[in-house]
């Protein structure tokens, strides 16, 4: 059990050196909430972790390490970001994805149950819905992932629900739609040079760090023929995590919540917005469809506002793109 003499409790953030986890560490620090992070730096960067947060370099799949960190830091809650995130890679290496995303989450849950940590916020994904035929997508939409990445996350969701019923482990499962942008103060951002996300790649192409953006598919059944996504600013997402943590610490019930704005933008619209914001042309070529891309993914995003009182502050596409570009420029 937790050592009650060691106060204050900390939240354990796994994967805090990564893109989203580092924004959440900054949001926690801004809110005065103590945290500790475990990260193996496989894709994360030490510099992304705020100076006030202890970084324990290691693997979240190690039960011994988890046990030590939970005890040493009087951890009472976990936010679980550590994982592998590249969808096509998950098709090529499914077992690596089930290990890093599903098996390691099991190890983490097991440590929580054994050591009496009763609260967990989990990074899930819209990929659990697969390619639904209707938008917007609410949380009751049947889950039907179409790749091992989505399945690895859905299996973790199921384990959380079962562990909740059997052991009282309460969870907020956050299903992210398309996360983009960067901290407006420039403290952190998406720093993986090989990232595949549209807004990141478009900014790299604009700055000459990639030859060109390939626009994957212009013959979809959408108004301009390109795919539509619900882009959410990473700082709004970070705020949602802080609210989820506070909800659990208050004794709130387990929840599964979409994270998006309920509004879609097409690939062409994203490119046009970046051109307007920068005053420059994005070098782009029209390319065939990328396998596995659903035409539209837009969240029905009312529940998170109702249940957590979440109010987005950065929900303009031009602002998302502007922050992403500013961050990209700051990278050398
Ligand atoms: N980026 C998105 O658009 C998106 C969308 C939906 C869900 N998610 C989920 O959000 C989470 C964070 O994604 P991100 O975009 O910040 O990715 P990221 O790669 O930037 O961050 C992942 C972090 O976890 C660390 N890590 C990976 N495996 C680890 C392990 N076994 N032990 C310790 N540390 C480990 C990495 O070093 C990295 O710092 C992931 O779980 C991802 O599946 C991301
Ligand atoms: O170089 C590129 C990259 C992307 N796209 C298109 O842009 C859209 C968005 O693609 P991307 O940014 O790669 O995101 P998604 O494939 O929608 O997946 C993201 O969003 C999902 C939730 O919606 C999460 O589950 C995933 O983890 C996350 O990578 C898609 O239509 C892509 O075809 C391009 O045209 N060119």
Q: In this model, does residue 7 exceed pLDDT 80? A: no
Show the domain range for 159. Answer: 8-179+232-260
Tens of pLDDT along 79-103? 999 999 998 899 999 999 999 999 9
Per the structure, the count of domains in the chain is 1
Q: In this model, does residue 31 exceed pLDDT 80? A: yes
| CATH number of the structural domain spanning residue 75 | 3.40.50.720
CB-based contact 17:37 (threshold 8 Å): yes
Pick from 2-6, 187-191, 274-278: least confident: 2-6
Residues in the chain: 332
Distance, in Å, from the CA atom of 275 to the CA atom of 294, rounded to the nearest integer, reads 25
- Chain mean pLDDT for the chain: 96
* Cβ-Cβ contacts under 8 Å for 93 (sequence gap 6 or more): none
Helix axes 148-167, 104-115, angle to 10 degrees: 20
H or E stretch at 221: none
- Respond yes or no on whether ipTM tops 0.95: yes
149 annotated active-site? yes
pLDDT of residue 42: 97
Q: Is residue 269 domain-resident?
A: no
Q: Is residue 221 domain-resident?
A: no
Distance, in Å, from the CA atom of 23 to the CA atom of 29, rounded to the nearest integer, reads 10
Share of the chain above pLDDT 70, in %: 98
pLDDT of residue 4: 41
Query: Is there an atom of ligand 1 within 6 Å of 12 CB?
Result: no
User: Closest Cα to residue 34, out of 69, 56, 55, 8?
Assistant: 8
Q: In this model, does residue 2 exceed pLDDT 70? A: no
Q: In this model, does residue 294 exceed pLDDT 80? A: yes
Q: Is residue 128 domain-resident?
A: yes
Average pLDDT, integer, range 291-296:
89
Mutate to test the pocket of ligand 2, among 136, 287, 290 (most ligand atoms within 8 A of CB): 290
Among 97, 149, 176, 261, the one annotated catalytic: 149
Q: Is residue 314 domain-resident?
A: no
Q: Is residue 167 domain-resident?
A: yes
pLDDT of residue 313: 98
């Amino acid at each position: 059990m937790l050592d009650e003499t060691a106060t204050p409790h900390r939240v354990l953030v796994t994967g805090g050196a990564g893109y989203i986890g580092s924004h959440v560490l900054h949001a926690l620090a801004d809110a005065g909430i103590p945290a500790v992070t475990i990260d193996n730096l496989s894709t994360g960067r030490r510099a992304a972790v705020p100076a006030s947060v202890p970084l324990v370099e290691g693997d979240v799949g190690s039960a011994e390490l988890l046990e030590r960190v939970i005890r040493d830091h009087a951890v009472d809650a976990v936010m679980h970001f550590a994982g592998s995130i590249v969808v096509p890679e998950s098709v090529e290496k499914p077992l690596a994805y089930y290990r890093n995303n599903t098996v390691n989450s099991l190890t983490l849950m097991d440590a929580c149950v054994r050591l009496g940590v009763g609260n967990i916020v989990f990074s899930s994904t819209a990929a659990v819905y697969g390619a639904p035929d209707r938008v917007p997508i609410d949380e009751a939409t049947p889950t039907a992932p179409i790749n091992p990445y989505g399945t690895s996350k859905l299996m973790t969701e199921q384990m959380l629900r079962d562990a909740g019923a059997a052991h009282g482990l309460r969870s907020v499962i956050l299903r992210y739609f398309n996360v983009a942008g960067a901290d407006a103060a420039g403290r952190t951002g998406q720093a993986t040079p090989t990232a595949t996300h549209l807004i990141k790649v478009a900014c790299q192409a604009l700055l000459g760090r990639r030859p060109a953006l390939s626009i994957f598919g212009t013959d979809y059944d959408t108004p301009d023929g390109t795919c539509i996504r619900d882009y959410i600013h990473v700082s709004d997402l970070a705020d949602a995590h802080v609210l989820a943590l506070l909800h659990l610490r208050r004794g709130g019930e387990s929840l599964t919540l979409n994270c998006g704005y309920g509004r879609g933008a097409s690939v062409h619209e994203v490119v046009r917005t970046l051109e307007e914001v920068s005053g420059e042309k994005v070098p782009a070529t029209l390319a065939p469809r990328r396998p596995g891309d659903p035409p539209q993914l837009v969240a029905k995003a009312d529940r998170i506002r109702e249940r957590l009182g979440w109010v987005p502050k950065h929900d303009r596409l031009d602002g998302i793109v502007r922050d992403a570009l500013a961050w990209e420029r700051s990278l050398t």
